[in-house]
Amino acid sequence: MIICLGCITQWTFAQDASTEQAIKELSKAKWEWMAEKNVEELAKLFHDQSKFVHMSGTWKKDRELEIIETGSIWYKQADVHDVAVEVFGDTAILWNRITLLAHVRGNDVSNEFTVTEAYKKEGDQWQLLALTFSSVRDTHEIAH
C-alpha cells in the first residue's frame, strides 16, 4: 500500500510538473504570436468567453484579436523576467513578470507588468480564459 501511494504521488508530481512546463511554453508562444500579430493561432488559444484586462479597459476575445490584427496595440516584445504556475486539476494560473515594449497610439512605450493568465483544459487542449495586466515596479517579485 505504501509503495502504491509513493508511486501515485510521484506520478501526480511528474504530471503537474509536465503540465506546468506545457503552460509556460504555451504562454511563451502566446507572446510570440502577439508580437507577430498571428491572430489565427491566438484565436485557437483564446477561449470564446475569454476576457482581457488592460490599463485602458476590459474586453472580450473578438476585440482583443481585432486590436492585435489592426496594430492598435502592437505587442512588439515581451521580455519575461519570471514565471510561476499553479495547476488546479483542469485549470492553470500563470504569472509572468515582464517588461513589455508595445506600440500604442502611435508611440513605442515600455512598461513593467505582472501578467496573470488563466487557462482551462478543454478536451486535450489548454485555452486562455483570462489575461490581466497589472502595472508594477521593476523590483516587483513573484513569490514561488
pLDDT digits (tens, 9 = 90+) for 73-97: 999 999 999 999 999 999 999 999 9
* pLDDT value of position 16: 75
* pLDDT value of position 37: 97
Residues contacting 117, CB < 8 A, separation 6+:
27, 30, 93, 94, 95, 96, 128, 130, 131, 132
Which residues of the chain are under the pLDDT cut of 70?
Answer: 1-15
Rounded to two decimals, the pTM is 0.85
* pLDDT value of position 140: 78
* pLDDT value of position 3: 55
* pLDDT value of position 15: 59
